[in-house]
Homo-oligomer: A and B are copies of this chain.
Amino acid sequence: MIAIEKLNTIKKCPVSYVLAIQDTLNAFQGKWKMPIIGALMFGKKRFKEIEREIPKITPRMLSQELKDLEMNGIVSRTVLHTTPVTVEYALTDSGEQLHQVLEAMIAWGLQHREQNMVKLLPVLQEEVA
């Protein structure tokens, strides 16, 4: 873990840090990346298994996003020569390491909600309803 006092440091080390952040945002970009990564955090899964686990995703989107994640080295794809052919998707090491980023996101999101409770009340009520 690189030591950073404040984000200020980003400007002292601009190129690699900015690229690193872009890579990370890229990993989560799009409506379905998060649910797909989430599904694979519990172990390898076949195409149809993921499709069933994520309500309302279309095969087109699932296929597209899996390809994207594979190209970015976050997900691996293994063809099993069964009948019919099945394809297994799993997180790579990099993919699994994303849980560290998710932890930070959860921590921020929770404290942010707490700090803004009053303002967010109407929103929360909508979400529950």
Contact = CB atoms under 8 A, between A and B. Distances in A.
Interface of A: 1-2, 4, 6-8, 10-11, 16-17, 19-25, 28, 34, 38, 41-42, 73, 93-94, 97-113, 115-116, 119-120, 127
Given A7-B41, A8-B42, A119-B73, A21 B106 contact: yes
21 contacts: A1-B103, A1-B107, A2-B106, A7-B99, A7-B102, A8-B41, A8-B42, A10-B106, A19-B127, A20-B107, A20-B108, A20-B110, A21-B109, A22-B109, A23-B113, A73-B115, A100-B104, A100-B107, A101-B104, A101-B105, A104-B105
Copies of this protein chain in the complex:
2
A23 B112 CA distance: 8
Nearest to A100: B104
A98 B4 CA distance: 13
Contacts of A42: 8, 11
A25 B25 CA distance: 9
